[in-house]
Amino acid sequence: MKRNVILSILFLSALCLKAQTPDPNFYIFLCFGQSNMEGAAKPEQQDIASPGSRFLLMPAVDDAQRGRKKGEWCEAIAPLCRPNTGLTPADWFGRTLVASLPENIKVGVIHVAVGGIKIEGFMPDSIESYLKQVPGWMPGILANYDNNPYKTLVTLAKKA
């Protein structure tokens, strides 16, 4: 009996270790920046067509309209940044990369961008002082990232 319990524990431990092993066929990219990365261009029909299961997004914010949950992989269909943003360089990057890679490779993006943000908004040692001086229209956007875009990006990257 004792032997069976020990073997069961070892088996379950091995499963947990296997689950934590990174997939060498899943390339993950962190996309962050200002307005260009946030995306302003209106997505056209080809941009909102499914890219298939090889181009994925780990959303940094919930998007109930599209059934997206923060931190859960989904198909990377524009908009990638937040609801009501537009087409981003990450859209084209991911779709083009998937098209040029072998069929067994998947591409994932984690996308955090705020138009007009200064670099201090992405620096862990200056975000608190930066929040005190942002323009009046920015706090609502920053709230999407718990007032810390950098921390949100890193937290999601660790989860990925």
Per-residue pLDDT tens for 10-29? Answer: 454 554 445 578 899 999 99
d(CA 107, CA 95): 9
Residue 96 in this model has a pLDDT that exceeds 50: yes
d(CA 155, CA 157): 5
Least confident of 47-51, 101-105, 110-114, 144-148: 47-51
* Averaged pLDDT for residues 82-98: 94
Q: What is the pLDDT of residue 2?
A: 56
> In Å, how far are 4, 5, 79, 125, 150 from 92, measured between CA atoms?
53, 51, 12, 32, 23
Contact by Cβ (8 Å): 112, 27: no
Q: What are phi and psi of 41, to 5 degrees?
A: -65, 140
Query: From the DSSP assignment, how many helices (H) and strands (E) are in the chain?
Result: 7, 4
Q: What is the pLDDT of residue 49?
A: 86
Average pLDDT, the chain: 88
Residue 54 in this model has a pLDDT that exceeds 70: yes
pTM: 0.82
